[in-house]
Amino acid sequence: MINVEDLRVTFHLPRRTVEAVRGVSFTVEPGECVAIVGESGSGKSVTARSLVGLAGPGARVDATRLEVDGQDARRFAPRDWRRLRGGFAGLVLQDALVSLDPLRTVGAEIGEVLRVHGQGSRLSRTKQVHRLLTEVHVPEPERRAKQYPHQLSGGLRQRALIASALAGGPKLLIADEPTTALDATVQAQILTLLAERRAAGETLLLISHDLAVVSRLADRILVMKDGRLVESGPSRVLLTGADHPYTRELIAAATGRRRARTAQPGPEPVVIAEAAALRKVYGDRTVVRDVGLSIRHGEIVGLVGESGSGKTTVAQLLFGLVEPTSGSVTFEGARFSGVPERARRPLRRKLQFIAQDPLSAFDPRWTVRRIVAEALPRGATVTPLLERVGLGEDVLDRYPRQLSGGQRQRVAIARALAPRPSLIICDEPVSALDVSVQAQVLDLLAEIRERDGTALLFISHDLGVIRDLADRVLVMHDGRVVEEGDVAAVFDRPGHEYTRKLLDAVPKLEVPA
């Protein structure tokens, strides 16, 4: 189905040329699952997008051979690519929020694919939309189909995007980090769905930085680093006897995380932020129910739960992005909810927020240099801060769209660290990062806490990250906190059935028989 030889993708930027893919060759046979793994910026996503004519603006794609569905794609005109997309190949992108049209409901988005490919009447297409949403485990599909992307949680948006990719009944599904934004239980459901399609003989090209996810599905694994293919082979052979040091590093990270440094709060912990009896109602739906929490100086508090459990809404209430229906928020002893914005403004620099979708949080017209510099004191340089989050000077003059998902996330973290805040609210800040960079960022956040006493509210669906980093953890379900306590006690001896369900759903590295 796919035959690629010596694929090269080059981006010509204003001040430099970037070789994103350097001489990559591989095939995808009908009925198999091939996975491309590697760290953010390794070229894996650009490689996948090149197969459907979406390498990106300004990209030059060259190859000795680029055959897609038996056709020479090197000679394709734009209309040839449009005919290929959706029907032959469905593409699930990493950034669901910016991949879905903000002006259309998700039902209209999925229905368009059905209409373009001539599937059914208007009435039958509505039923097909509901069926597709049900297949990807979207609850209340009739209601969700009428909602806009911004009204859905990150996990629900990702599932809607997967439904859209499946709508045309493609022969090949290209999934670029399809479970990145999903909590452990929904991730398990999506992996089961993909495994079912794989078992039915469908063809998958899976892009991921998580070998635990890849090991469940892939027949063959291709490992990319710095735009090159460094190792490839059958999954069982590669996972049990990898030759390349980088592959062994990825396997080690998937089988056991390296615990980040931790430090307990000082002998006289001061409460930085506190919420009491928070409740938030949208229309006839209560999304946060009587939530209370406190965060002390130098403390890292984890907040976990499924997508739609209310954890992101709690973060928005604490940050003052939305007002609670009832309850209160205080920050550094001052009331932070229910007051005019001018009363909150003096505290804003001390309270920072790292969003789940960095691309939608940045001004697309600004370079990385300007994004980070805005938060720094006048005269301070940007480069040292970028280096602390694992980025170099080469990204300074790039725009957000010219960065990989992991690079964008690191820029967001640098931007939040720039004012040296007393509390950072982190909403899935490492969800887009590969395991090696993720470990660096977690160590960085722990170092910031230890050095500056910065407190963190760390929201994540990755329970391994929370175990590594947090002092305390709160577990949310259906808008409520169902369990809380010391992170080791909660994870080792969970008292609530829902917490046990989350822990059981965490993906583990599996070696195929």
| 377 CB burial (10 A radius; 0-12, 13-18, 19+) | exposed
DSSP state of 85: B
Distance CA 44, CA 250 (A): 15
463, 430 in Cβ contact below 8 A? no
- Overall pTM surpassing 0.75 (yes/no): no
Residue with tokens 């808008």: 479
Highest mean pLDDT pick, 88-97, 229-238, 304-313: 229-238
Res 267 pLDDT > 60: no
**What's the pLDDT score for residue 263?**
47
- The mean pLDDT of 258-276, rounded to a whole number, is 67
* Segments making up each domain of the chain, as ranges: 101-169, 271-358+421-504
Give the pLDDT confidence score for residue 286 in this predicted structure. Answer: 95
- Give the strand order in the sheet containing 220-225: 89-92, 172-176, 203-208, 33-37, 220-225, 228-234
As a whole number of angstroms, the distance between CA 416 and CA 412 comes to 6
CA 222 to chain centroid, in Å, comes to: 21
The structural architecture, per CATH, of the domain 271-358+421-504 is: 3-Layer(aba) Sandwich (3.40)
pLDDT tier at 513 (50, 70, 90 boundaries)?
low
- pLDDT at res. 481: 97
Count of CB atoms within 10 A of residue 350's CB?
16
More confidently predicted of 368 and 186 = 368
User: Residue 3: what pLDDT?
Assistant: 97
> Chain centroid to CA 501: how far?
22
Strand partners, 427: 459
Q: What is the pLDDT of residue 413?
A: 87
Q: How many CB atoms lie within 10 A of CB 148?
A: 15
Band (pLDDT 50/70/90 cuts) for residue 439 is: confident
Cβ–Cβ under 8 Å, residues 291 and 447 = no
Contact 188, 179 (CB under 8 A): no
